[in-house]
Structure 1
Amino acid sequence: MPKVLYDTICTLTELRYFVFHGNFYADGAEAYQMEFWIRHIDGSRFKSDAERQKVIQFS
């Protein structure tokens, strides 16, 4: 679980987003769900549906 969480945060950072809140649900070493509230590094939200899909695809 820690590796997946770390990789996800690193990927979002590389895409120039920051996580300002997050939750994850796990049972032992198995993660069932991770959710993140993110913003672009400049503070803006998604500018298009294509941008939203890109972040979903890489996360």
Structure 2
Amino acid sequence: MPAKSKAQQKAAGAALSAKRGETPKMDLKGASKSMADSMSEEELEDLAETKRKSLPEKKG
């Protein structure tokens, strides 16, 4: 499933980094923290690899 906004794509990237152990999980805030807990690495990859060029800054 592709990301629906740049903010969602960015949060997924941060969560994926923490899930892989590249970033401390305690550094996560907000959506990225809950994404890291509730989503699999594969789901996070799908969101994080979305091209940002055509995405709105925030959904809504």
Category of TM-score, reference length = shorter chain: under 0.3
Q: TM-score, normalised by structure 1?
A: 0.27
Higher CA-based Rg: 1
- Identify the structure with bigger relative contact order (alpha carbons < 8 Å, sequence gap 6+): 2
Q: TM-score, normalised by structure 2?
A: 0.27
Higher strand share: 1
Higher helix share: 2
